[in-house]
Amino acid sequence: MKQVINIPLLITLFTVISVSLHAQNYPDEEEWIQIFNGRDLDGWQPKFKGYELNDNYLNTFRVEDGILSVKYDNWPSAFDGQFGHLFYKDKFSHYILKAEYRFVRDQVNGGPGWAFRNNGLMLHGQSAESMGKDQDFPISIEVQLLGGNGKYERSTVNLCTPGTNVVMDGKLRTAHCFNSTSKTFHGDQWVTAEVKLLGDSLTHFVNGEQVMAYGGAQIGGGVVSGYDESVKVDGKLLSDGGYISIQAETHPTDFRKIEVLNLEGCMDKNAKNYKSYYVKADNTKCKF
């Protein structure tokens, strides 16, 4: 007798099995969030000094050919203090951030000398909405990205502190910038910056090598202006985290990947979305 195969039934069974497998949790499998989607600026908000939130001044931040770029080809005149930042919409406190970046072309006319091949990952920052119209930098921990000039040593993935301070070697440090132990990267080569943030403790990596670590990240200090005084609560630890932004600081910069591994979430081993690598529990997010 000829056997008849029920195609619709097989399709249904395969669909059920596929959905069931997809629903299973793999606790050790890392779930990276691509906060730059490679297509557009969805989820990001620009803020330039002197301009309202969401005014992408002269189309400085843009996405072309899968690259998030900071470009100055539309600037008709010299830079006049219009520092800009591009904020991601979600807040994080315990996470790993990875960004692949490179510096390209020439600095915009009139840019300050210190901003040559200079950008930054502003972490644990205030929200875009809380920025003053004439504020120059967000109150944040800046992971400073620097490129070499082809001649001299210049470390990258350093630390700068606009409106913040940190603790190193058991002492409160109030200087603005601290160099990492990284090597210098000349030219237009791609570099991977990585930062592990566990509340107010941060560790920096360059191409997988640790180059800096510190704790006690807190609001305080200067090198920021135009802010709402109610936002700058000196001495407040940044243990609850904050927002991520990248800079427009007068030198063209490309980013081809910006991703986050959240380390905060469901830590109930009986839950479907339990992850073994979480370090901070938020069991309100558990799914059973």
pLDDT in tens, 29-75: 999 999 999 999 999 999 999 999 999 999 999 999 999 999 999 99
Instruction: Give domain 26-283's CATH superfamily.
Output: Exo-inulinase; domain 1 (2.60.120.560)
The pLDDT tens digits of the residues spanning 121-170 come to 999 999 999 999 999 999 999 999 999 999 999 999 999 999 999 999 99
Q: List the beta bridge partners of residue 175.
A: none
- Give me the residue spans of the domains in the chain: 26-283
* Whole-structure pTM value: 0.91
H helix count then E strand count, the chain: 1, 19
